[in-house]
Structure 1
Amino acid sequence: MRVKLRVRARIDDARRRLRRSAGMPVVTARLGPSAPTAPDAAAGPIVDPAVLDARLVEIDWARLPGGTVRDRFDAPSGALARISLGPVDGRRIVLVPGVTGSKEDFLIMFPLLAAAGYRVEAYDMAGQYESAGAGPEHRRPPERHYSLELFVDDLLAVLADGATPAHVLGYSFAGTVTAALAVRRPELFASLTLLSAPPVPGRSLGAFKLVGPLIGHANPGLAARVMIWGLRLNVTRVVPTRQAFVRSRLSVTRRSSVADVMVLLSHVPDLRAALHATDLPMLVATGTGDLWSVGRHAGFAGSIGAEFVAYPTGHSPCETTPHQLVADLLRLFAAAERRAA
């Protein structure tokens, strides 16, 4: 009950903050059938992020918001596909997707963050979607498997390619990646957000609420097949346009990268004390229907000294409650920037 009350209070607080922010433009994303678009001035401002999220409609997830820049970045594991949006001199935000995801998972958030004055970027991790060619064979010396060090070294190179410190968000498995770099190089981070990230060290797969007993002790190949099978069958019941995009990117995502990450999710390092010691501004965010329980996420947030919020959704608040998530991110960023000034 305490967790539920905290969740409700955090959502209500986000609404109040937006209503009070007279000096900040109200950002909306009225989504049409093709891509996120600018606010419709004739419709008038809507300041309740939960209402905006309730009004989301289907979009073409393969079509980027207007003004988005594509490029390919040469990381230690190979060429990574990257997208960026917003003023080039804006404070930098780097968003990192989960194991079976891609940079497009943040498309609805992109114009919202850019309109708030930030330069936001996201990239496909090695083995994912348009970075499928990147892998351990390109490391020096060449390696056989995707490792946590591979993903961390790639993120380090991405951050070094632009202005730092940057606001960094790691989604799902990428939360472990971003956390691992944060404890190693905290000076590169203006803030750290862990979105639906593994809250349990060690065998985090086994802590899944529903399928933990099934895949927690399975071999990595089987665990990867179960995850991909669930995505292909749309067990989370995403809308048709979203499912079409998920199937399309799965067709090119390297199966070996997914299998290797299943191994990593069975050996999640315990970074709680080290994260707490960084004293970075941090947010742990998730959905009430996430793979891991709200209680586990809340406990993890407390152990690292982070703020905590849970939205009325599943594993993917970046897709399903993006306005509420962005409201909390903007508050976190503003507080971090005030502290650093």
Structure 2
Amino acid sequence: MSRPPTFTPPPCARAHRLRTGRGDFAVLDASPRTAPRGTALLLPGYTGSKEDFIALLEPLCAAGYRTVSVDGRGQYETEGTDRQETYAQGELARDVLAQAAALDGPVHLLGHSLGGQIARAAVLLDASPFRSLTLMSSGPAQVAEAQQVKVKMLSDALATLSMAEVWEAMLALDPPEDAATDGEALRRRWLLHRPAQLIATGRQLVSEPDRVAELAAAALPFHVLSGERDDTWPVPLLDEMAQRLGARRTRIAGAEHSPNTDRPEQTASALTSFWDSL
């Protein structure tokens, strides 16, 4: 589970609902004081939320970029249904296209982990709303075998237990050093996620095919960014994907699967360097 250091956005950001042709989405919308150099749309990963990008908002604003992080359908503060088909990858991709349209594109699209696979699906449906695509700690196909086991265990638990019961079970398994964040805010976020969303997107994580060749044909500027270690997709696999895409490749020193929370200043600098180059 991603663990943002805080759930309190910086002064440059406001929380609101982004109205789109596919419904309203909860966002954190951070705008620079002057005319923006561009707009970035940030998609969180599995069990995550828009708050995963809070530490990036201020430095990206300072660099001149309007930055909008979003809760996807059924994530945290965006409403969803109890039907798993609502969260088919194609449906989530169409949500992203609607979000980009509401932001008066073209936007720099970034997806973290599962969010990267949804971002990829959106680009494959229609690349025209996007100025670039950054895949952050998001690999070419299904997650590593050990992560597949964890996702399947979680999905099985969600099918029989309440969200509160699953939270208590996960808390019991967490090492103490991983619980040093705002535990009550994390718990509230977990309880507001729709179980159907987690089950459906978990199935995507363990079965996603390799679509790198299709993506390369989209002819967008690509950026593959990760930490120097990653237990969800091996870093050498991300290196290879970047080569296949002809992408800029960035490894953030000292970061693991979530460079956005592990090393936000360095991550923001890498993002703005890429966007500025375009």
Are residues 1:70 and 2:10 paired? no
**1:78–1:134: 8 Å Cα contact kept in structure 2?**
no
Whole-Å Cα distance in 2 between the matches of residues 183 and 281 of structure 1? Answer: 14
> Equivalent residue for 1:275?
215
Deviation string for 1:41-72 (max 9, x for gaps)?
A: xxxxxxxxxxxxxxxxx986221111322221
> Equivalent residue for 2:75?
128
91, 94, 97: which one pairs with 1:156?
97
Deviation string for 1:139-160 (max 9, x for gaps)?
A: xxxx744110121111111000
Distance 1:211 1:98, change over 3 A: closer
**Aligned ranges 1:177-326 → 2 under 5 Å:** 177-197=118-138, 199-201=139-141, 204-205=142-143, 207-208=144-145, 210-212=146-148, 214-215=149-150, 220-222=155-157, 230=170, 233-235=173-175, 237-238=177-178, 240-290=180-230, 291-311=232-252, 312-326=254-268
Deviation string for 1:219-255 (max 9, x for gaps)?
A: 9435899x96547743593352344432221121111
TM superposition score normalised by structure 2: 0.85
Q: SS state of the match for residue 60, structure 2?
A: helix
**Aligned ranges 1:45-56 → 2 under 5 Å:** none
Q: SS state of the match for residue 47, structure 2?
A: coil
**2:113–2:137: 8 Å Cα contact kept in structure 1?**
yes
- 1 or 2, which has the higher strand percentage? 2
Whole-Å Cα distance in 2 between the matches of residues 333 and 231 of structure 1? Answer: 38
Whole-Å Cα distance in 2 between the matches of residues 301 and 231 of structure 1? Answer: 35
Distance 1:251 1:200, change over 3 A: same
- 1:333 offset after TM fit, Å? 0.3
Whole-Å Cα distance in 2 between the matches of residues 324 and 236 of structure 1? Answer: 26
Distance 1:280 1:59, change over 3 A: closer
Deviation string for 1:279-316 (max 9, x for gaps)?
A: 21111111233222111111111112212222222211
Distance 1:223 1:100, change over 3 A: same
Deviation string for 1:179-216 (max 9, x for gaps)?
A: 1111222221111110111x242xx13x24x444x347
- 1:134 offset after TM fit, Å? 2.3
**1:166–1:189: 8 Å Cα contact kept in structure 2?**
yes
- Percent of matched pairs sharing the same residue: 28
Letter aligned with residue 319 of structure 1: T
- 1:101 offset after TM fit, Å? 0.5
Aligned residues: 266
Whole-Å Cα distance in 1 between the matches of residues 6 and 274 of structure 2? Answer: 27
**2:19–2:25: 8 Å Cα contact kept in structure 1?**
yes
Letter aligned with residue 194 of structure 1: L
Deviation string for 1:4-27 (max 9, x for gaps)?
A: xxxxxxxxxxxxxxxxxxxxxxxx
CA RMSD of aligned residues (A): 2.8
106, 112, 133: which one pairs with 1:171?
112
Are residues 1:328 and 2:274 paired? no
Deviation string for 1:259-295 (max 9, x for gaps)?
A: 1111111331432112212221111111233222111
Q: SS state of the match for residue 67, structure 2?
A: strand
Letter aligned with residue 95 of structure 2: D
Letter aligned with residue 303 of structure 1: R
Gaps of 5+ in 2: none
Distance 1:325 1:261, change over 3 A: same
Whole-Å Cα distance in 2 between the matches of residues 217 and 60 of structure 1? Answer: 27
TM superposition score normalised by structure 1: 0.70
**1:70–1:81: 8 Å Cα contact kept in structure 2?**
yes
- 1:118 offset after TM fit, Å? 1.0
**2:140–2:212: 8 Å Cα contact kept in structure 1?**
no
**1:76–1:153: 8 Å Cα contact kept in structure 2?**
no
48, 55, 58: which one pairs with 1:101?
48
* Structure ranking higher on relative contact order (CA contacts 8 Å, 6+ apart): 2
Whole-Å Cα distance in 1 between the matches of residues 54 and 94 of structure 2? Answer: 25
